[in-house]
Amino acid sequence: MSNWHLLNSRVSNIIIVCWIFFSYFPGFILSAVVTLGSIEIFTTHEWIRPTPTVYFNCKEENKTELPDVKKAHVLYTFKGEESWQPLTDFVNKKCKRCGFYEKDSFKSDDVFEEWELCPSDFTAPDGKYTRIKEKEFNATFFCPQCISFASDSHSPSDGHKGRHSLDIALVVLLSVLFTTVLILGVVAGYKYWQKKKREQDQARFLKLFEEGDDIEDELGLGNII
């Protein structure tokens, strides 16, 4: 087996180990995406445009326009696979200031509602969160990865246990990676030693062969044969 194939095999083993680790410790996921499941607006604020331009936005992030939302009192549902999804993502338990807005032609954009969107809002088993603003909109969001954030924030003791488990998980991951690198280093060193030993044996054999030829030349055995 070539060194290239050996390297690919070792890299694959490391990837498998990391995948198993994150499967058993989902709370260690670095990003939790939020998608829009459905929305129904109850009113529009722009009188000049025949159809509204509705968008979602979190502070200091890019706007996400909802191209399908064109009429009030119509329930729009989504699969989470649309080109404009996801709406945002969380990298920790910190909340974000987000909201639904409608573009306005002459003044600042109209606001359906602004609120603090938090990972702890997604407490349903499937990571669902429903937001209702009277006379404005009814929307559902999904964030399955946020469930781990929400469970860690139920109580101080639970949060402490969650952090402690993550610390243990990190130690386990680092130990596995260190052991893997150590084993790979030992294997590489052993193969290098074998290669050098073969080279030395070949050099010693060639030297003995040359010395044998010299002895034959001195005795004149080569000419006799």
What is the CATH number for 39?
2.60.40
User: For 160-179, what is the mean pLDDT?
Assistant: 71
Are 59 and 88 contained in the same domain?
A: yes
pLDDT tens for each residue of 36-82: 999 999 999 877 777 899 999 999 999 999 999 999 999 999 999 99
**Percentage, residues of the chain above pLDDT 90:** 43
> How many domains in the chain?
2
122 lies in which domain range?
A: 31-154
Are 134 and 200 contained in the same domain?
A: no
Are 105 and 185 contained in the same domain?
A: no
Are 131 and 54 contained in the same domain?
A: yes
Position 156: which residue type? Answer: P
Are 53 and 12 contained in the same domain?
A: no
Decide which of 160 and 105 is more confident.
105
Decide which of 22 and 82 is more confident.
82
Which residues are CB-neighbours of 61 under 8 A, at least 6 positions away? 88, 96
The Cα 117–Cα 126 span in angstroms is: 17
Q: Is the pTM of this model over 0.75?
A: no
The Cα 75–Cα 137 span in angstroms is: 10
Which residue's structure tokens are 């095999």? 9
